[in-house]
Chain A
Amino acid sequence: MSVLEFQKVSKLYNNVTQALTEVSFRVDEGEIVSVIGPSGSGKSTVLRCINRLVDVTQGSILFDGRDITRVGKKEIRQLRKKIGMIFQHYNLVNRLSVIENVLHGRLGHKSALSGAAGYFTEQEKENAFCLLERLGLTEQAYKRCDELSGGQKQRVGIARSLMQEPRLILCDEPIASLDPSSSKVIMDYLSDINKTMKITCIFNLHQVDVAMKYSGRIIGLTSGRIVFDGPPDRLSKAKIHEIYQSNEGELITDVG
C-alpha cells in the first residue's frame, strides 16, 4: 500500500523559479527511497512539500490516500505529527539539554499550554530515555546540545523525530555535514529504524554510493523533473551522468 503519492506536482517559487515540474512518484509502506540530483534540482523542495513547509503550486500529494496539498492549518499540524524530519544542520535548540530537545518531538501531540510550559508526562520522559539509550546517548542526556559533536547532534535529531511516533521520516541531507564514520553510524541507525519500526524513509543525498547502498529505490531529479525512478541496480553510470548532467570523469564518483 502506498503511503505517499505525488501526482504531477509543480512548484513555482515567487512566480519565477520553477523548482518542480510535474513530479509524480509513489512510495510504499516501509520503503527507503533516496532522491538524488545536482544542487538546485529541487530535492529539498520535494521533501518540504510533503510536510507542507512549502506549498505546492499545482498537482496533489496523497498521504495515506488523503490529498494534503490544500488542507488548513489545523490539519497541517495533524499531518506533521505523523512525519518526522531530519536536517543537515540538525536544527536543535542548542541552549537546551539533549532530553529537552528529544521531548520537543511530542509537542505536536500536546495542548498548546502544556507544550509551551514544557510539561511532559512520565510516560513521555520514559520513552525519551529509551530512545536515547537506543541511540547511544544516555550519558549525554543532560548535556547542552552545543556541547555535542555533529554525529551526536544528528542522533538527537533522530530521537526527536522518533518521539513523534511517525509513519514517515524525511531526511534532508542527513550526513552532509558529517565525517565518513559518523555518516555510517547515522545511516545504519536510520536503516535499522526503518527495518525494526517499519517507518518509511525518504532521503535527500549527495552521495550516490550511499544512496545505492542503503535505499531500495532511487529517484533521480534534474532541474525539477524526474529522470530516473528505480532500484539501485538499474542505476547505470550513464544514468548517473544524465542525472548530474555531466560527462565521463567529471564526478567525484568517477575517481577510482
Chain B
Amino acid sequence: MSGDRMKKTPGSKEKAAVFVARKRNFTIAFLGVFAVFIISSLATGYDVAGGFAAVPKAVHWMASNFVPDEKAWSRLPNILAKLIETAFLSVAVTVCAAVCAFFFGLPGTRTLKLNPWVGRAVRIIAAFFRNVPDVVWAMLLLFSFGQNILTGFFALFFYTFGILTRTFIETVDEVSADCIEALHAAGAGDLQTVFQGILPSSMPEILSWILYMIETNIRNSTLIGILTATGIGYLFDLYYKRMDYASAGLVVLSVVLLVIAIELLSNQIRKVIL
C-alpha cells in the first residue's frame, strides 16, 4: 500500500534513480581498484600467489630465529634503557610539536578570523611539513646534524608539527566556533578568546590527538633510530647486523609491549578526559 503511494509521489522515480546511480558508481569504483591492483602487480612483477605462499615459511624462520635466548635476556637492562630513552624522546617531541602547532595553527582557523593571508600561508606550510614523511625528514636532516639524537628529534618534530597543526585547526573550527563567536561578541580580544574559549572547549580533543601522536611517534622513532643510529632502533640494527637475531627479537618484543602499554594507558586517560 505504501508502495503504491510512493509511486504516485512526483519525483520518486528520480530519487530511486539516484540510488541506482550510486550503486553503479560504487561497482565501477570497485572494479577500478581491482584493475589497478592487477596492473600494478603485473608491472612490478609481484607474484600474488607466491607472496602469500611465502608467509608460512617467513613465520617459521622468525619463530625459530627471533626467540630470545639466554644471551639476549642478559642484554635486557641495556635494551630497557634505550627503550625508555626512545619513549621519553617521543613524549618530548610530541608535546613540543603540539604546543608549537596549536599557536602556529590559530591564524589558520576560520572562526578566530585573524589575518586571512597569514591563515592561507599557515595552512600551506602545515601541508608541506605533513606531506614530507618523517623518514624523509630524517634522511634530509642527517646531512645537517649527522647521526645524532637531534636528527631524530627534528624529524619526528616536523612531521608531528605538520599533522597536529592541521588537526588542531580543524578541531578548533569544529568544536570552538560557537563560543569564539560569543566571546568576540562580548568584546573579548583574541588572546582572551584563545585562553578563555578555545583552550577549555577544545582541550579534550587536543589531548586525545597528543596521545595518539605519542603512540605513533614511539613506533616511528624505532624506525628513525635505525637511520640516525640512536635509541632502540639503533640497538635493533646493531643486533640484527651481528646476526644476533635472538637479541633483535627481544628488542622487537619490548617495543611491541611498550606500544601496547602506551595505548592502554592513553585509552584510560581518554576515558577520563572525554
Contacts and interface: CB of A to CB of B under 8 A. Distances in A.
A118 interface: yes
B186 A164 contact: yes
Interface residues of B, number: 21
Given A81-B187, A104-B183, A108-B187, A96 B195 contact: no
Interface string B170-196: 000000001101111111110110111
B192 A116 contact: yes
A84 B186 contact: yes
Contacts of B254: none
B207 interface: no
Nearest to A163: B186
B187 A104 contact: no
B182 A107 contact: no
B189 A77 contact: yes
A77 B201 contact: no
A115 B185 contact: no
A108 B186 CA distance: 6
Interface string B186-223: 11110110111100110110000000000000000000
Nearest to A81: B187
A125 interface: no
B192 A107 contact: yes
- On chain A, which size bracket covers the interface? 20 to 34
Contacts, number: 83
B189 A53 contact: no
A87 B192 contact: no
Interface string A71-99: 00000011111011101010111111000
B247 to A, nearest CB: 48
* Most chain A beta-carbon neighbours within 10 Å: one of B179, B195, B204: B179
B191 A113 contact: yes
A31 B201 CA distance: 36
B195 to A, nearest CB: 4
Contact of A115 (B179, B189, B203): B189
A110 interface: yes
14 contacts: A53-B185, A77-B189, A80-B187, A81-B187, A84-B186, A89-B178, A92-B179, A93-B201, A95-B200, A104-B186, A116-B191, A116-B196, A164-B186, A164-B187
Interface of A: 51, 53, 77-81, 83-85, 87, 89, 91-96, 104-105, 107-110, 112-113, 115-118, 157, 160-161, 164
